[in-house]
Structure 1
Amino acid sequence: MSDGLLDALQYYGAAAATLAALLVSLNLGERWNGWAFVIFVTSSLALIAWGFLQPDSEGIGWQNVALLGINLVGVYSHLIRKRPGAERAPDE
């Protein structure tokens, strides 16, 4: 695997996780939080790939396998699940 691709996976994963965490921390609404979790999913996928392709980085890979599951729950919870009696505002 080329060093350039490994670097891209590593730095994309870190930058995407940082952006997603910022969006969640701003608490801009249900839809924004949902899209932040989509960004977290892409971050986890990049870091899973990086962790298992980079020598001696399997710990990051396994951590992101777990985080991927958590982030998918966040996507489901904020973007997919319909809550009974609750309608989303158009700007959320």
Structure 2
Amino acid sequence: MSDFVLTALQYYGAGAAALAAFILSLNVGRKWSGFAFVIFVTSSIALIAWGFLDDDAEGIGVQNVILLVINCVGVYRYLLSGHWKDKERAA
């Protein structure tokens, strides 16, 4: 794999994770939090690819497989499940 692609995956993954964490820290609502988790998912995918394509980064790949599952749960809870609509109606 070319060094350019590996570097792009590495830095995209890091930058996207930082952006998603920043959005979550703003606590601007359910929809924005859901979009932050979508960004986290793309970050995890990039870091999984980098981790398994680069000889020295396998640990990052394994860690991001786990984080990908967690981030998909976040996407489901904040964007796809409708259980929060019932809570808003009851309030």
Q: What TM-score results when the alignment is normalised by the length of structure 2? A: 0.93
Match of 1:43, SS state, is helix
Match of 1:14, SS state, is helix
Bigger fraction of residues in helix: 2
1:27-55 deviation per Cα after TM superposition (whole angstroms, max 9, x unaligned): 01000000000000000000000000011
Match of 2:86, SS state, is coil
Residue correspondences, number: 88
Matching of residue 85 in structure 1 with residue 78 in structure 2: no
Identity level (%): 66
- Name 2:4's counterpart in structure 1: 4
For 1:80, the aligned partner's letter is L
Moved over 3 A (4+): none
Matches within 5 A, 1:1-92: 1-83=1-83, 85-87=86-88
User: What is the alpha-carbon distance in structure 1 between the residues aligned to residue 8 and residue 56 of structure 2?
Assistant: 18
For 1:65, the aligned partner's letter is V
Q: 1:19, CA displacement in angstroms?
A: 0.1
For 2:86, the aligned partner's letter is G
User: What is the alpha-carbon distance in structure 2 between the residues aligned to residue 40 and residue 7 of structure 1?
Assistant: 18
Match of 1:56, SS state, is coil
Q: 1:20, CA displacement in angstroms?
A: 0.1
Unmatched tracts of structure 2, length 5 or more: none
Unmatched tracts of structure 1, length 5 or more: none
1:21-78 deviation per Cα after TM superposition (whole angstroms, max 9, x unaligned): 0000000100000000000000000000000001121100000000000000000000
